[in-house]
Copies of this chain bind each other. A is one copy, B any other.
Amino acid sequence: MMGNMVKQDHPADLLESWITRRGAPVCVGMDPVFERLPSAFQRLDPASAFETWGRVFLDAIEPHVPAVKFQSACFERHGVAGMNALAKLLAHARGKFLVILDGKRGDIGISTQHYAAAVVDHFHADWVTANAYLGADGFLPFLQAGLGVFALVRTSNAAGDAVQSARLDDGRTVSESVADVIAASGAHYVGACGFSALGAVVGATKSADARQLRQRMPSAPFLVPGFGAQGGGLADALQCFIHGRGALITASRSVMQAFENRDGEWSQHVAAAAQAFATEISAGLYAQGARATNPL
């Protein structure tokens, strides 16, 4: 069912090695919107524009960031041609970055097995995002296929509070109860680096919860969206680390749109923004003393 391509490297070890290689625990989101691409690309059809733009974009940020996250919705929005552009850009990113496919899939076990096979055989990524509302069925098949999983625990949007902040009769919030499911399942998938292949999405906009969730899931790598454009700040993001490790801070629009209202080559502005983002996070960690014995 899964095909023959079970990955050999443990996903958490791979994540750690990429962060060490590039020197900052950051991830740039690939969330392309046709109307917001540099104007030269808007003369192409959307799928061709994404592919052409994306190759230059990825090459521009490669020296500065260890990880990229592809937002599946932005590509699905352009139909089969968009999915084809996604597959080609995932292939282009392979070996240059740790690659995350942000599809937030989640289904019963047999269907999640199909989603896992889609990633292993076609839409190649090292890690995926997944929704755990269906429990372990929503993430275990990805782990069993050798992929890393960032399960949604505490999302960066305000509307998520309606479900995630509700308090259980034992005092935990719903997101804390999901965190406990992730911690328990993830304990069976810990790599040599001490972190698990089962991680958690914890929004940078929810720093009051992040510290608590960090304690509940000490072995889970955190994927931290919401930094920058969505309003999360440096101090918020730093809550997600444990001794300077175990989190990957994501920025999308602040890097992707860095060329807007600026003269000169768009890709140079993007590269500079990626570098500045990486520097801001690594300097923040260094200042915090979190990596005092192992500075970035």
A122 interface hit (Cβ, 8 Å): yes
Asked if B160 and A134 sit within 8 Å, CB to CB, the answer is yes
Beyond the given A79-B122, A104-B131, A106-B131, could you list 18 further A-B residue pairs with CB under 8 A, ordered by the A residue number? A73-B114, A76-B118, A77-B117, A77-B121, A77-B122, A78-B122, A79-B118, A82-B118, A82-B122, A104-B105, A133-B155, A133-B164, A136-B162, A137-B160, A162-B181, A167-B168, A167-B169, A174-B174
Q: Encode contact with B along A62-97: 1 for CB under 8 Å, 0 otherwise.
A: 000000000101101111101110010000000000
Which B residues touch A80, using CB under 8 A? 80, 83-84, 87, 122
Asked if B73 and A111 sit within 8 Å, CB to CB, the answer is yes
Shortest A113–chain B CB gap in Å is: 8
A42 interface hit (Cβ, 8 Å): no
A–B pairs, 17, beta carbons within 8 Å? A73-B114, A73-B118, A77-B122, A79-B122, A82-B118, A104-B106, A109-B157, A109-B159, A132-B163, A133-B133, A133-B163, A135-B159, A135-B160, A135-B161, A138-B159, A166-B177, A167-B168
Q: Encode contact with B along A38-58: 1 for CB under 8 Å, 0 otherwise.
A: 000000000000000000000
Q: How far is the CA of A131 from the CA of B131 in the complex (A)?
A: 8
Asked if B121 and A79 sit within 8 Å, CB to CB, the answer is yes
A107 interface hit (Cβ, 8 Å): yes
Q: How many residues of A contact B (CB 8 A)?
A: 55
Asked if B73 and A107 sit within 8 Å, CB to CB, the answer is yes
Asked if B169 and A74 sit within 8 Å, CB to CB, the answer is no
Q: How far is the CA of A135 from the CA of B159 in the complex (A)?
A: 5
Which B residues touch A163, using CB under 8 A? 132-135, 174, 177-178, 181
Asked if A114 and B169 sit within 8 Å, CB to CB, the answer is no
Binding site for B on A (CB under 8 A): 31, 71, 73-74, 76-80, 82-84, 87, 104-109, 111-112, 114-115, 117-118, 121-123, 131-138, 152, 155-157, 159-164, 166-169, 171, 174, 177-178, 181
Cβ contact of A159, chosen from B82, B87, B114, B136, cutoff 8 A: B136
Which B residues touch A77, using CB under 8 A? 114-115, 117-118, 121-122
Shortest A204–chain B CB gap in Å is: 13
Shortest A175–chain B CB gap in Å is: 9
Q: How far is the CA of A104 from the CA of B131 in the complex (A)?
A: 9
Asked if B159 and A112 sit within 8 Å, CB to CB, the answer is no
Which B residues touch A111, using CB under 8 A? 31, 71, 73-74
